[in-house]
């Protein structure tokens, strides 16, 4: 997904039902095992999200739970997305259908990769996170709304304030999360800078 | 008024700045973009979704290294997935008019080995590649970044990156290296001292008498592992050694034009009195042959030291040490010398160059690989392989019982058929000892210099190169 040639996509809120994957330090190898990196497009990546964990859970993994099948918001624990920097991880989750992540905390590179795909990662304090996880598991059809502008999350358990870094919030609200589009905006200043370089790649 | 004093990083950054972005990042022009088969196909696919052309195809260069087999490279490759990735890269290069250094070109190899070899890597450049060890090119006084797939797309579309400014830490390695101590030991010692996250937010400038005395290949080994210390990039200021290396390369200018270039390159070095955000000094004379015992490159010790014990470890590192000892199945407090090995791997963008093979061959010439040990030598590029064969090193290795292979990444990350099996322990000249890195989810990696790997292959166990040779 990218909006370079279309109009700006400003993301000021995400709405939908949730799905909970419990546990801390869920690394990118678990999100998308390394063997699925031997591919030429990300198209098929959604199918392989959490593949090994889902196989091991024999159909009992939250991603295979029918009650969560329309979920747009993935609720996770601490340090989600740690390990290798592979962009295949957020790509897999996005293509599986998630549009935002709520968790205790996120690994820096994972969160950065998410931003560049327009997927907000917002954080909650321990007790709010526990409440949200509980509500989603009890009432999977319950709507969750994340308002990026006001930094509020609303669900059946009530209203909570979420964390999101200022810079990222700005990028999402302004539609600046798509780096290609932002960089294209420099127009021929790119060619001018290139022409002024003291080197060119041909001998 | 005098010009303000700048370090090399600041000079290069300023020359490539296109604009400041609202996010607080800088839009930085990248002079040279290197691509390979693993992280580029998705980027090309995204580009065509956007209906955008490659903006500067002449600033983009491709090779194939990660998935290519090192035994039989004939086409189609036996692994269908590998063949698909390679064909896709060839197709993208044809379609976008990008120079591709494939096996038939005679110049194929690990992207970080062939860049310098071809003279594509030059002082003062910004370079990026969808591979974390792009920091290697910093050895020439270039600022070189490893990037993700979306950034590869950004680069293809705009030749630019959105990137946050970095602080600069100067790391001075003083004194003189003892015999048996190599560049690999220097960078392992630096990472041990500063930590695997110590460099986050920094560019590392490596300097001091030890770096001054190093060859370009040794400097590449040091810069290569900057990323393992958390630094975004690492570099060495250009000097006479840099100039001599670049003279006569395929992509460097000839004759009088070269002399003009050379003067400009030398002027890029950090000014005397330039300021730094941090300065660290390391006593090079005290560095021993080093070796990793755990599951990240910071888990390393001198060969004469013993494996750490959790209770002597600072609180914040204790859990990591316990996890590492459990995974490696090593005994806390035991000596690392004498650890039996199953596999020996000499190669990778860290230590797969001709000087590495020469050092390893010197050791290989003194004995034979221990029965039961699988040992392979994988040259970093076709050029390295050719040179080694001209010097008869292939014969030395073969006679000593090593497998002599075609160039590629091979067992550094095992995306090709070269893999550890089960719990095997591998003495490796590569750069990452993460769990499962070498292709077996439970495989174990001990990082060390190529000479130490060769010595371990012969002894069948980890040995101190200073005592054994
Ligand atoms: S040799 Fe290893 S570290 Fe270097 S580019 Fe290849 S896979 Fe990456």
pLDDT band of A3, cuts 50, 70, 90: very low
Contact B468, B459 (CB under 8 A): yes
Enter the ipTM. 0.91
Determine the distance separating the centroid of ligand 1 and the alpha carbon of B409, expressed in angstroms: 5
CA-to-CA distance for B402 and B346, rounded, in angstroms?
A: 10
- How far apart are the CA of A9 and the nearest CA of chain B, in angstroms? 15
Query: What pLDDT is stored for residue A4 in this prediction?
Result: 44
Digit-coded pLDDT (tens) for B173-222: 999 999 999 999 999 999 999 998 899 889 999 999 999 999 999 999 99
pLDDT tier, A202 (very low <50, low <70, confident <90, very high otherwise):
low
Task: Find how far residue B122's CA is from the centre of its chain.
Answer: 17
In the predicted structure, residue A2 carries a pLDDT above the cut 60: no
Scan residues 180-239 of B and list those with Cβ closer than 8 Å to A. Answer: none
Which residues from B are below 8 Å from A116, CB to CB?
150
- Give percent of chain B with pLDDT exceeding 70: 100
- Residue A1 is predicted with a pLDDT of 42
User: What domains can be seen in chain B, in order of their start residue?
Assistant: 9-163 (3.30.499.10), 167-286 (3.40.1060.10), 291-468 (3.30.499.10)
B21 touches chain A (CB under 8 A): yes
CB B383 within 8 A of CB B247: no
Taking CA–CA distances from A190, the nearest residue in chain B reads B18
Please name the member of B18, B22, B55 whose beta carbon is closest to the beta carbon of A170. B22
- What is the residue with the minimal CA distance to atom 4 of ligand 1? B349
Using DSSP's 3-state secondary structure scheme, residue B202 falls into strand
- The residue in chain B having the minimum alpha-carbon distance to the alpha carbon of residue A197 is B15
Q: Is residue A4 part of a domain?
A: no
CATH code, domain with A24: 3.20.19.10
CB-nearest to A180 from B17, B38, B154 is: B154
Do residue A186 and residue B49 have CB atoms under 8 angstroms apart? no
Do B23 and A183 make contact, defined as CB atoms within 8 angstroms? no
- Strand ranges of the sheet holding B202-207, from the earlier edge strand across to the other edge: B233-236, B202-207, B167-174, B278-283
Q: Would you place residue A25 in the very low, low, confident or very high pLDDT band (cuts 50, 70, 90)? A: confident
**Reduced to 3 states, what is the DSSP secondary structure of residue B149?**
helix
Output B157 or B38, whichever has higher pLDDT. Answer: B157
pLDDT band at A130, cuts 50/70/90? very high
Pair A12, A173: CB distance under 8 Å? yes
Task: Order across the sheet with B160-163: list the strands.
Answer: B17-20, B26-29, B160-163
In a domain, A54, yes or no: yes
How far apart CA B212 and CA B209 sit, in angstroms, is 5
- Is residue B250 predicted with pLDDT exceeding 50? yes
Q: Does the pLDDT value for residue B37 go beyond 80?
A: yes
Are the C-beta atoms of residues A31 and A46 closer than 8 Å to each other?
no
The string over B257-273, giving b where at least 16 C-beta atoms fall within 10 Å of a residue's C-beta and e elsewhere, is: ebeebbeebbebbbbee
Domain coverage including residue A28 = 13-177
* Cβ(B66) – ligand 1 distance below 6 Å: yes
Q: Give the pLDDT confidence of B110-141 residue by residue, as tens digits.
A: 999 999 999 999 999 999 999 889 999 999 99
- B258 reaches A (C-beta below 8 A): no
**Arithmetic mean of pLDDT over chain A:** 90
Determine the pLDDT at residue A101. Answer: 98
In this structure, is the dihedral angle defined by the CA atoms of residues B408, B412, B414 and B415, taken in order, positive or negative? negative
Contact pairs from chain A to chain B, CB under 8 Å: 132
pLDDT tens digits, one per residue of B307-351: 999 999 998 889 889 999 999 999 999 999 999 999 999 999 999
Is B412 touching ligand 1 by the criterion CB < 6 Å? yes
Q: Taking a C-beta distance cutoff of 8 angstroms, is the pair B177, B186 a contact?
A: yes
Domain count, chain A: 1
Give the model confidence (pLDDT) of A78-89 as tens digits. 989 987 777 889
Q: Please indicate, yes or no, if residue A186 is contained in any of the structural domains.
A: no
What is d(CA B230, CA B11) in angstroms, rounded to the nearest whole number? 22
The mean per-residue pLDDT over the stretch B13-27 comes to 92
Query: What mean pLDDT is predicted for residues A146-167?
Result: 96
Looking at beta carbons, which residues of chain B come within 8 Å of A87?
Answer: 42, 148-150
Q: What is the pLDDT of residue B164?
A: 87
What is the rounded CA–CA span in Å between residue B304 and residue B213?
25
Task: Beginning with the edge strand found earlier in the chain, give each strand of the sheet holding B32-35 in spatial order.
Answer: B99-101, B60-63, B32-35, B126-129, B143-146
Backbone angles phi, psi at A73, to 5 degrees: -125, 120
Interface test with A, best of B12, B20, B23 (most A CBs within 10 A): B23
Average pLDDT over residues B377-397: 98
Helix or strand holding residue B450 (H, E) = helix B450-459
Report the alpha-carbon angle B219-B224-B225, nearest 5: 115
Place of tokens 């292959």: B457
List pLDDT tens digits, range B412-432. Answer: 988 889 999 999 999 999 999
Q: Please indicate whether residue B205, judged by its CB atom, sits closer than 6 Å to ligand 1.
A: no
pLDDT at A6: 53
- Identify the closest residue of chain A to B38 by CA–CA distance: A38
Residue of B14, B20, B25, B27 to mutate when probing chain A, most A C-beta within 10 A: B27
pLDDT tens digits, residue range A46-67? 999 999 889 989 999 999 999 9
Distance CA A102, CA B125 (A): 40
Task: Verify whether ligand 1 is closer than 6 Å to residue B356 (CB atom).
Answer: no
Say if the Cβ atoms of A183 and B150 lie within 8 Å: no
Which of A183, A189, A199 is opposite residue B154, by nearest beta carbon? A183
Q: Give every CB contact of residue A202 below 8 A, 6+ residues apart in sequence.
A: B58, B251
Q: What is the pLDDT of residue A35?
A: 74
Q: Does residue A170 carry a pLDDT above 60? A: yes
Question: Is residue A167 in a domain?
Answer: yes
Mutate to test the pocket of ligand 1, among B63, B144, B146, B431 (most ligand atoms within 8 A of CB): B431
As a whole-number percent, the residues of chain A with pLDDT over 70 amount to 94
Q: For B15-26, what is the mean pLDDT?
A: 91
What average pLDDT does this structure show over B442-460?
A: 97
Of B61, B150, B250, nearest to A116 by CB-CB distance is B150
What is the average pLDDT score of chain B?
Answer: 95
Minimum CA distance residue for ligand 1 atom 2: B412
CA-based nearest residue in chain A for residue B33: A201
Q: What is the pTM of this model?
A: 0.90
């Amino acid at each position: 997904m990218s909006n370079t040639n279309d109009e700006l996509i400003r993301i000021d809120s995400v709405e939908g039902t949730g799905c909970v994957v419990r546990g801390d330090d869920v690394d990118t190898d678990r999100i998308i095992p390394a063997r699925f990196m031997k591919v030429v497009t990300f198209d098929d990546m959604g199918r392989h999200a959490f593949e090994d964990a889902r196989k091991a859970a024999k159909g009992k993994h939250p991603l295979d739970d029918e009650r969560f099948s329309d979920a747009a918001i993935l609720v996770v624990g601490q340090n989600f997305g740690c390990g290798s920097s592979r962009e295949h991880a957020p790509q897999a989750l996005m293509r599986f259908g998630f549009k935002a992540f709520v968790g205790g905390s996120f690994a820096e590179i994972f969160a950065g990769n998410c931003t560049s795909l327009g997927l907000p990662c917002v954080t909650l304090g321990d007790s709010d996170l526990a409440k949200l996880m509980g509500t989603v598991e009890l009432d999977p059809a319950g709507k969750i709304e994340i308002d990026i502008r006001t930094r509020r999350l609303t669900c059946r358990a009530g209203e909570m304030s979420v964390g999101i870094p200022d810079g990222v919030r700005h990028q999402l609200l302004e539609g600046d999360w798509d780096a290609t589009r932002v960089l294209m905006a420099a127009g021929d200043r790119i060619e001018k800078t290139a022409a002024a370089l003291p080197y060119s790649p041909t001998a | 008024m005098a010009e303000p004093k700048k370090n090399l990083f600041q000079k290069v950054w300023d020359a490539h700045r296109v604009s400041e972005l609202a996010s607080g990042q800088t839009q930085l022009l990248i002079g040279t973009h290197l691509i390979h088969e693993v992280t580029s196909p998705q980027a090309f696919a995204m580009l065509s979704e956007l209906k955008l052309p490659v903006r500067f195809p002449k600033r983009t260069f491709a090779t194939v290294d990660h998935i290519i087999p090192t035994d039989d490279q004939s086409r189609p490759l036996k692994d269908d997935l590998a063949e698909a990735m390679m064909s896709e890269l060839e197709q993208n290069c044809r379609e976008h008019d990008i120079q591709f250094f494939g096996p038939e070109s005679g110049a194929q190899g690990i992207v970080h080995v062939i860049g310098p070899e071809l003279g594509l890597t030059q002082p003062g450049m910004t370079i990026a590649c969808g591979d974390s060890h792009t920091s290697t090119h910093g050895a020439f006084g270039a600022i070189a970044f490893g990037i993700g797939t979306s950034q590869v797309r950004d680069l293809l579309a705009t030749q630019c990156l959105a990137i946050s400014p970095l602080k600069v830490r100067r790391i001075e390695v003083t004194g003189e290296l003892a015999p048996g101590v190599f560049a690999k030991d220097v960078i392992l010692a630096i990472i041990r001292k500063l930590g695997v996250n110590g460099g986050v937010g920094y560019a590392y400038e490596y300097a001091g008498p030890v770096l001054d005395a190093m060859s370009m290949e040794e400097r590449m080994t040091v810069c290569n592992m900057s990323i393992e210390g958390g630094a975004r990039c690492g570099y060495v200021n250009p000097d006479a050694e840099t100039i001599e290396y670049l003279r006569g390369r395929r992509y460097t200018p000839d004759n009088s034009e070269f002399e003009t270039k050379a003067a400009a390159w030398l002027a890029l070095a950090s000014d005397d009195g330039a300021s730094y955000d941090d300065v660290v000094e390391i006593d090079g004379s005290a560095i021993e042959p080093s070796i990793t015992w755990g599951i990240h490159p910071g888990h390393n010790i001198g060969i004469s030291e013993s494996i750490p014990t959790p209770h002597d470890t600072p609180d914040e590192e204790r859990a990591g040490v316990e996890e590492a000892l459990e995974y490696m199945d090593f005994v806390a407090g035991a000596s690392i010398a004498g650890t039996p090995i199953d596999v020996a791997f000499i190669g990778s963008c860290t230590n797969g160059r001709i000087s590495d093979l020469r050092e390893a061959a010197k050791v290989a010439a003194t004995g034979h690989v221990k029965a039961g040990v699988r040992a392979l030598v994988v040259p970093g590029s076709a050029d390295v392989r050719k040179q080694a064969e001209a010097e008869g090193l292939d014969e030395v290795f073969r006679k000593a019982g090593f497998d002599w292979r075609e160039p590629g990444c091979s067992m550094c990350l095992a995306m090709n058929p070269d893999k550890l099996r089960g719990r095997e322990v591998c003495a490796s000249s590569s750069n990452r000892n993460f769990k499962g890195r070498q292709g077996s989810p439970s495989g174990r990696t001990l990082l060390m210099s190529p000479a130490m790997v060769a010595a371990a292959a012969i002894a069948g166990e980890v040995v101190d190169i200073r005592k054994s040779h």
